[in-house]
A and B are shown apart, each in its own frame.
Chain A
């Protein structure tokens, strides 16, 4: 009745082709079909941000995009971060600043933070908090995360560290 749909897309630069059930969302596709388990699933209704990935260069909620909607698109996940210097800088800063404890939110947090940094400049701490408002972290209380994002922004802009 539901009928599998053939899709072809690139994931972290690699061409992928699969037949998927229409109800399969993008993060379940990444995790169960491709074994890319770095993208996490929290609330599954768009609130927590753990599933944030990049679709055609923009962050999206992986639980609020169907795999069939990603047909023809380019998807980037935490597993592809080594290809992107911004993500790598963020990863190093998250380690240096202790900006994670359990790490469940971190892949989505990095995707959102990278999108903010791509806009350039040094965002205010309020602007960083606003931008990350849709990514929940239950461990850190956010201060260390804001510190990490701010330190990368400052380093990239050649500004003194806070």
Chain B
């Protein structure tokens, strides 16, 4: 199908984009990489009156400094996947990239767009939650503010980003020497939506797991932090932690079914991924 008609404005800076958002509010959608938005427009799932193109405002930098990794909103999935700074400071993110759609989509799609969309089956929201990233938001009326990933994803395609706000960046704490990070996903074909996926980090000291943070995606309306799994794994050896965390997942997750995969199957697959993720931390 073809998109419904819309007006088009090309922002020349982040401040200009925020001014346009302030002017048009709910009638506007920001266009970054467009890899979800244009599909939604073509399917007429979305019919905004005006698109504000932020593709030329800069804000694509990837910077590691002072123990933080800052991914500016327009950093593409492909650029994140190629970045040595990302591989060193947040290896989970580098592991996530091959799971994101297909190469041609990774060349255009952006981390800011993915976070702002809040697709519950997407990789970046879960990674942000697992690593407790901060999302940097900005608006003309209220300036900049930071929201932790735990407070950012509110519901299905619903985030703390207000109608007059834009995502400027996501900031991740750089990994510690004894920290292990893993991102795993099960899909029917490479690049398909996740049946279920997990982004997990933990400390590994003396063969024991502590501070496990496992965020699952494709299991509900938002990415879900598996707190019971974390409790069950605390202080255990890798093998015990893998089993205990997987067993505890039934108290963390209640995945919905769909015509191809029922909820019980999804939970079972989540347990498989939980075990694999913890075991991979010792590899």
- Number of residues on chain B facing chain A (CB within 8 A): 32
Residues of A within 8 A of B142 (CB): none
Q: How would you classify the secondary structure of chain A's contact residues: helix, strand, loop or mixed?
A: mixed
CA distance A68 to B11 in the complex (A): 13
B2 beta carbon closer than 8 Å to chain A: yes
- Number of residues on chain A facing chain B (CB within 8 A): 34
A107 beta carbon closer than 8 Å to chain B: no
Known: A61-B35, A133-B191. A23 touches B6 (CB 8 A): yes
Residues of A within 8 A of B4 (CB): 23
CA distance A44 to B42 in the complex (A): 7
Within 39-76 of A, Cβ neighbours of B (below 8 Å) are at 44-46, 49, 52, 58-61, 63-66, 68-69
Partner of B38, one of A3, A25, A130: A25
B104 beta carbon closer than 8 Å to chain A: yes
The reply to whether A5 and B8 contact each other, CB–CB distance below 8 Å, is yes
Partner of B104, one of A25, A28, A60: A60
B141 beta carbon closer than 8 Å to chain A: no
A112 beta carbon closer than 8 Å to chain B: yes
Q: Which residue of A lies closest to B34 (CB)?
A: A64
Known: A25-B42, A130-B190. A59 touches B104 (CB 8 A): yes
Please indicate which of the listed interface residues B51, B78, B104 has the most CB atoms of chain A within 10 Å of its own CB.
Answer: B104
B125 beta carbon closer than 8 Å to chain A: no
CA distance A52 to B101 in the complex (A): 14
Q: Which residue of B lies closest to A115 (CB)?
A: B103
Residues of A within 8 A of B104 (CB): 49, 52, 58-61, 111-112, 115, 134
Q: Which residue of B lies closest to A129 (CB)?
A: B190
A141 beta carbon closer than 8 Å to chain B: no
Q: Min CB distance, B182 to chain A, in Å?
A: 19
Residues of B within 8 A of A61 (CB): 35, 104-105, 108
Q: C-beta contact mask, B99-114 vs A, less than 8 Å → 1, else 0? A: 0011111011000000
CA distance A22 to B5 in the complex (A): 8
CA distance A99 to B217 in the complex (A): 37
The reply to whether B102 and A134 contact each other, CB–CB distance below 8 Å, is yes
Residues of A within 8 A of B2 (CB): 23, 28, 44
Q: Which residue of A lies closest to B107 (CB)?
A: A58
Q: Which residue of A lies closest to B49 (CB)?
A: A1
Residues of A within 8 A of B105 (CB): 46, 61, 64, 134
Residues of A within 8 A of B103 (CB): 59, 112, 115-116, 131, 134
Known: A59-B107, A60-B107. A69 touches B7 (CB 8 A): no
Partner of B53, one of A69, A115, A129: A69
CA distance A126 to B249 in the complex (A): 32
